[in-house]
């Protein structure tokens, strides 16, 4: 599906692909493509000179696949983090910048792009160059990453308190989820730092956009430090949780060990008199049975007192 956004006094006006011929070319700002078909890819090539990269390129980590310049064209492949209930998704978006207009290729709804579109409509923003729109979109995504990290920091602080109260399977799942989220955000921040570092050096970018990108780069470096800090805190919580679980297990083992030790003499006595050898003197003794029971009770009670005195039980 292709949506065409042209400049107007109210920010953007949305058009369909059938209206492309009626729009002034210098008014076209943004062509947003979701799940492109072969016909739509062919149309992009014939209409704006855009050639669709292979789908495999979207997941490539090489910088040559993430950022590329050809003449007056700039190609970029950025990842956007999407949280859905218990899932953390990383969805790539391909950007194509040329002159005044920008093309985005994506395969699902991207919240950042939706926020950008609504912000343009509400604030009636205007753009002269494609890189200005790109800078605005990246700025929104960086703000969203910052918000996520702020929420993550609060949840980690609460989690540290919960760990001392109980050690449940849910807490282990929460730690794993927060760790994955932090690592995912860290990876996307590193990716943006690499791409924007190349982008800001491009001679095709105007001075104002370069200043904006440099501010974004500073913000990303700050957010990267936060991910490092949270990584250390999550590791600390994991170590604390493991320590508490080990203490609980040791306490349980200690109790069972003490109980086994207490009843071991009684078991030994019963085993000895249960051997039924012919020349065991107590076997034919009138009080042998009572004697053995009394011996077991006395040794058991004596061990119980001794263990309690030692503070083991």
Percentage of the chain exceeding pLDDT 90 = 6
- The whole-number pLDDT of residue 59 equals 52
- Gap between the Cα atoms of 98 and 131, Å rounded: 9
* The token pair that represents 145 in the structure block: 């990453």
Q: 194 versus 308: which is more confidently predicted?
A: 194
pLDDT for the residue numbered 169: 73
Tell me the pLDDT tens digit for each residue of 121-133. Answer: 777 777 777 788 8
Grade residue 53 by pLDDT with cuts at 50, 70 and 90: low
Is residue 79 pLDDT above 80, yes or no?
Answer: yes
**pLDDT category of residue 35 using cuts at 50, 70 and 90:** confident
**At 221, is the pLDDT very low, low, confident or very high (cuts 50, 70, 90)?**
very high
**150's tokens:** 């702020």
Which of 61-65, 235-239, 255-259 holds the top average pLDDT? 235-239
């Amino acid at each position: 599906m292709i949506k065409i956004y042209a400049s107007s006094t109210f920010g953007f006006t949305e058009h369909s692909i059938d209206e492309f011929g009626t729009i002034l070319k210098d008014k076209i700002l943004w062509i947003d493509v979701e799940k492109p078909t072969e016909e739509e890819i062919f149309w992009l090539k014939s209409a704006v000179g855009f050639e669709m990269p292979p789908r495999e390129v979207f997941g490539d980590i090489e910088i040559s696949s993430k950022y590329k310049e050809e003449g007056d064209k700039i190609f970029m492949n950025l990842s956007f983090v999407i949280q859905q209930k218990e899932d953390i998704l990383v969805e790539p978006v391909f950007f194509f910048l040329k002159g005044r207009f920008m093309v985005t290729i994506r395969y699902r709804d991207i919240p950042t792009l939706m926020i950008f579109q609504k912000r343009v409509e509400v604030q009636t923003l205007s753009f002269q160059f494609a890189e200005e729109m790109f800078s605005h979109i990246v700025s929104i995504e960086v703000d969203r990453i910052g918000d996520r990290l702020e929420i993550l920091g609060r949840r980690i602080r609460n989690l540290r308190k919960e760990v001392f109260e109980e050690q449940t399977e849910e807490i282990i799942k929460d730690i794993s989820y927060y760790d994955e989220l932090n690592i995912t955000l860290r990876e996307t921040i590193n990716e943006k730092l690499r791409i924007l570092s190349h982008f800001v050096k491009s001679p095709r970018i105007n001075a104002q956009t370069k200043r904006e990108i440099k501010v974004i780069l500073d913000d990303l470096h700050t957010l990267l430090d936060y991910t490092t800090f949270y990584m250390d805190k999550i590791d600390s919580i994991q170590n604390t949780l493991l320590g508490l679980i080990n203490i609980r297990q040791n306490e349980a083992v200690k109790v069972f060990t003490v109980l086994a030790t207490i009843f071991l003499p009684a078991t030994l006595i019963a085993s000895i008199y249960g051997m039924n050898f012919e020349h065991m003197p107590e076997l034919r003794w009138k009080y042998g049975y009572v004697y053995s029971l009394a011996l077991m009770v006395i040794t058991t009670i004596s061990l119980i007192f001794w263990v309690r005195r030692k503070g083991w039980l």
